[in-house]
Structure 1
Amino acid sequence: MRIVVVSAGLSSPSSTRLLADRLAAATRERAEAAAGVGGGGAGVEVQVEVEVEVIELRDLATEIAGHFVTGFPGARLAAALDAVAAADGLIAVTPVFAASYSGLFKSFFDVIDKDALTGKPVLIGATGGTARHSLVTEHALRPLFTYLRALVLPTAVYAASEDWGQEGLAQRIARAGAELARFLAPAARDTAPGAALEVDTSAAIAPRSLTGAITSVDPADGFQVVPFARHLAALAVE
């Protein structure tokens, strides 16, 4: 199982990279812990090895700019694009500039193949100086990855400067990691005693078509697809 982390932080160290690392750690911990609790059924333990690859976009800035001019990626950029396309899941985190994602972050996803993220579970996150930018994940990041036909997970994590060290941030990171783990490892869908959640990833991807509407927002609950015409008819009756 392979997770690719795309971090658009510009400094070293950066809060963006810190958030990306914590999201990856939460996902790996949930997936591996769930597999260790009889993930194979009938008392058979399933070994889940989670490999995490981090792509620091600041190291690729020159090659990304060159790609726009020449139409061809350099060797390191090509390797990064291939890694994202081959990943089982993606974690994408950007700093906030001018109330949106950074130009470097957007440029990387501008040069990626248009089909590379189709149906791929993506966990989104952002960092900023104040809580005023917390909705950037919803008005900027989520539409971007929806356009790329990715399966964007319900919980997005925004971390303002004052959030670090607070319990609320840790809880959001844990929840987001658990959601991504559910799509990567069947055993990680739920480890609570007596729980038996069955989430079909292909069914979860299906609601992204233009002909249906998602009526459940948490993958732990499963997804139900309602034809758009029926959805409108029901609203008209109400």
Structure 2
Amino acid sequence: MLATAPLKIVAVAAGLSSPSSTRLLADRLAGAVRERLSADQDRRVDVQIIELRDLAVDIANHLVTGFPPKELKAAIDAVTGADGLIAVTPVFTASYSGLFKSFFDLIDNTALTGKPVVIAATGGTARHSLVLEHAMRPLFTYLRAVVLPTSVYAASEDWGSSGDEYTEGLPSRIRRAGGELASAVMGRTVSGASRSLTLDDGEDAVVPFEQQLAGLRTA
């Protein structure tokens, strides 16, 4: 009997510092996806974190020469070959970082077609959270990816907050986004009727993922 191929989850982190809150958020999201996938089926899950700061020079060279160095090509292949993608950027001048945009500029605009993606960002203030909807979601929609309903923004104060009766804390948003990506990777996606639906909400809460892809493939 042939072994089942592992599910591949790739997280791209565009943080520039070390340590980086952007990398930390990528790790937390990847961990949430791994936990849900491992609990839901008897299948190995491979998680890869790509830190763009380590590829900055290669990205610049590729933009100039048109030829990706070996490590950059491996990163691009990992992203395009993943079953599910997590994309995390710090906020610079009310948008994603130049490094983040430059990396995704190198990916063919059909290479992510139908791929489920969780978008996330970090910043110093909650006022920049709209970068998720005004910049990141349009970018991945252009790349024909399936951007999942829950996006995650982490401001500085969010790391020490668990939320209250009026707001949802960062840990619960991470778990919800991770659950949505796990659901999509397994061939299902959240219907969109409620942003709080997750894998635990039963079969009525989801629609076949293949149905979601049909529109993209025939467009």
Same fold? TM cut 0.5: yes
Of 18, 27, 30, which aligns to 2:24? 18
Task: Classify the secondary structure of the residue corresponding to 1:55.
Answer: strand
Q: 1:73 aligns with which of 65, 68, 72?
A: 68
State whether structure 2 residue 95 is matched by structure 1 residue 100: yes
Runs of 4+ in 1 over 2 A off after TM superposition: 185-192, 195-199, 205-211
Q: Distance in 1 between matches of 2:127 and 2:28?
A: 22
Partner AA of 1:122 in structure 2: V
Unaligned runs of 5+ in 2: 1-6, 163-168, 190-197
Deviation of 1:112 (Å): 1.1
Q: Which moved more, 1:15-24 or 1:182-191?
A: 182-191
In the comparison of the two structures, how many residue pairs are matched? 198
Match of 2:139 in 1: 144
- Structure 1 or 2, whichever has the larger Rg, is 1
**Identity value in percent:** 65
Indicate the residue corresponding to 2:14 in structure 1.
Answer: 8
Equivalent of 1:124 in 119, 123, 129: 119
Going from structure 1 to structure 2, the CA distance change for 1:183 and 1:116 (only over 3 Å counts) comes to: same
1:187 Cα offset (Å): 8.8
Q: Is the 8 A contact 2:188 2:208 kept in 1?
A: no
Question: What stretches of structure 1 of length at least 5 have no aligned partner?
Answer: 36-46, 212-238
Q: Which residue number in structure 2 is paired with residue 201 of structure 1?
A: 209
Question: CA deviation digits over 1:189-232, x for unaligned, max 9?
Answer: 7346xx33453112123455897xxxxxxxxxxxxxxxxxxxxx
Deviation of the 1:186 alpha carbon: 5.0
1:86 is matched with: 81
Match of 1:180 in 2: 181
Name the aligned partner's letter for residue 175 of structure 2. A
For residue 199 of structure 1, give the secondary structure of its aligned residue in structure 2: strand
Q: Tell me the secondary structure at the aligned position of residue 164 of structure 1.
A: helix
SS in 2 for 1:114: coil
Check the 8 A contact 1:84/1:116 in 2, yes or no. Answer: no
**TM-score (structure 1 length as normaliser):** 0.79
What's the Cα RMSD here?
1.9
Q: Distance in 2 between matches of 1:65 and 1:141?
A: 21
Q: Which of residues 22, 29, 35 is equivalent to 1:29?
A: 35
Asked if residue 165 in structure 1 is aligned to residue 174 in structure 2, the reply is no
Instruction: Give the distance between the partners of 2:108 and 2:188, measured in 1 at CA.
Output: 31
Cα distance, 1:99 vs structure 2: 0.1
Distance 1:112 1:157 in 2: 23
Structure 2 residue matching 1:94: 3-state secondary structure? strand
Please give the alpha-carbon distance, in whole angstroms, between the structure 2 residues aligned to 1:177 and 1:196. 18
Deviation per residue, 1:106-132 (Å, 9 max, x gap): 000001122210100000000000001
* Separation in structure 2 between the aligned mates of residue 115 and residue 180 of structure 1, nearest angstrom: 20
> Offset at 1:166?
1.5
Q: CA 1:187/1:73 → structure 2, altered by over 3 Å: closer, same or farther?
A: closer
